[in-house]
Amino acid sequence: MRVETLVVGPLQTNAYVLLDESSGQAAVVDPGAAGLRISDALSAAGATLKYILTTHGHADHTGGAFDLKSKSGGEYVVGEGDRGQIESPSSSLAAMIPGFANPPSIDNPVFGGEILDLGESRVIVIATPGHTPGSVCYLSEQALFTGDTLFQNSIGRYDLPGGDGDQELRSIRDNLLTLPDQMIVYPGHGPSSTIGEERVNNPFLQGL
C-alpha cells in the first residue's frame, strides 16, 4: 500500500491517496478541494477509485468529493454522526467558505469497526467523536488517517457546532493511543507524525 499526500484548498487541507499497488485499487481520504486534480492523478497512475473516505463533515475536507466522485466514481464513506453536516450546507461550513461544493450523497455510512477491502489491503474504520459527532479515523497497515482529531503536537478544535472536547480526548486516549508507537499519523492539516511521537510530545495528551 502506497500513500501520496496532496495539499488542497484555501485551508491547506491534506488529501491522501492510498493505492493498493497489486490491484490498482485506490481510496482517497478527504478530497477537500481539487477533486478534478485528484481524479487526474488517479487516472495517470492507472488506479481505480474504490472509496472516498471522509474523516468528518467539514467543508474543507469534503469540498472536492462531488467532483471526484463525478469523474472517478467510488463509494462515498462518511461517519453516520456527521450526516447532518454533509446533507445540510449551512452546518457543513460550505456556506461560509466560498469555493467549496456541497458533497455527494452518502453511499456508506459508518459507525466504527467496519473493515473495507482495498485490493489486498484493508482499511479499518475507527470511531473518534469529539471534533464532530461523526469524526472517524481510517487505519491501513502502518498508516492512520486522523482528520481533525489528532495533529502533530495538537488536537482538533472542539468549539465548532457539535464539538465536544472531553469526548475528543477520550476518543484519542481509548482508540488512538492504544495503537503501536510506530504507527504513522497522517493528519488533516500539517505534517505527519507517529503515535509514539504524539504520546511523548503532544501537550494536549499529557496526563490522559
> Interface with Zn ion by CB under 5 A: which residues?
58, 148
Give 148 or 198: the residue with its C-beta nearer to Zn ion. Answer: 148
Nearer to Zn ion, 112 or 163 (CB): 163
Residue 11 CB, shortest distance to Zn ion, in Å, is 9
Tell me how far apart the alpha carbons of residues 203 and 63 are, in angstroms, rounded to a whole number: 31
By beta-carbon proximity to Zn ion, the closer residue of 104 and 130 is 130
Strand partners, 154: 151
Residue 131 CB, nearest approach to Zn ion (Å): 6
**Nearest approach, Cβ of residue 97 and Zn ion (Å):** 11
- Per-residue HEC secondary structure of 125-188 comes to EEECCCCCCCCEEEEECCEEEEECCEECCEECCCCCCCCCHHHHHHHHHHHHCCCCCCCEEEEC
Measured distance CA(132)–CA(49) in Å, rounded: 26
Task: Return the number of other C-beta atoms located less than 10 Å from residue 185's C-beta.
Answer: 24
Q: Which is nearer to Zn ion, 67 or 148 (CB)?
A: 148
Quote the least distance from Cβ 205 to Zn ion, whole Å. Answer: 19
Cell of 114: 467496519
